[in-house]
Amino acid sequence: MGEQSNLLVALGTCACFGGISGLRNLYQKQEVIESCYGQTGDNNQAETSFSEDVPALLDSVQPVGKIVKVDYQIPGCPPLPGTIKTVLQALIKGEVPVLPQRSLCVECGRQQKELLKPTREFISDSVISFMELEEIDPEKCFLEQGVLCMGLATREGCHARCLKGNVPCRGCMGPPPGAMEQGAKLINSLASVLPAGGLMFMEDIVGTGYRYAMPSSIIPHISCKENESDE
């Protein structure tokens, strides 16, 4: 497609960053197959396809941009029709499409009364899953309620759809401009506002911080490290 196109646009979070399935990069391919389908009894099973109609599983999940040159990205799970329209209109006019440049917190609209105050007691000593709360205040910042939210490490542009549904952001728009690592951006941001030791009690920080962007991370895939050690 790249060879036959003047411009190549990655559409959607999976194309841009690798998506949720990219979390399997934390494991070796054979581990993933055995976890999903049970012990195969065949060491070569990971190298073959389960069906003639299904391609063999690759060693790791990769975003389109690591395979071929991508000119522009339209993130989102799914991308907003308005965003797609804006990018296409700009390209037709010969202009450079510009995505939103701020974090989702700017677009959220929830109240932050205690979050930036220099105190360690504004939040509990742990960050919990939103499913564990009996009630969530729809007007108050999730972090101030002890609920982990990816908004501070995620690009705006989704119109805060999940947040308006009283569900915390999980980062499908990818990192904001200037943040190389979405997961590292989350940890860095939380470390400045959570009480001492708060990160120790968080839910799966890797699975949350890199839920959509692990394949685009600069962190080496475990399969790559294994191959390097073999060499």
Pair 83, 118 in one domain: no
Return the number of other C-beta atoms located less than 10 Å from residue 219's C-beta.
15
Residues 6+ apart with CB under 8 A from 226: 28
Q: Confidence band (pLDDT; 50, 70, 90) for 40?
A: low
Q: What is the mean pLDDT of residues 6-17?
A: 94
Q: Confidence band (pLDDT; 50, 70, 90) for 41?
A: very low
The domain of 179 spans 104-216
Alpha helices, DSSP H only, in 61-181?
81-92, 104-108, 161-164
Pick the range with the lowest mean pLDDT from 35-44, 86-95, 161-170: 35-44
Pair 143, 73 in one domain: no
Pair 21, 53 in one domain: yes
pLDDT tens string 188-227: 887 776 654 555 556 677 888 899 999 988 876 655 555 5
| Of 99 and 53, the one with more pLDDT | 99
Domain annotation covers residue 43? yes
Whether 215 contacts 62, CB under 8 Å: yes
Average pLDDT, rounded, for the chain? 81
Number of separate domains in the chain? 2
Question: In the chain, where do the E strands start and end?
Answer: 9-11, 72-74
Pair 39, 115 in one domain: no
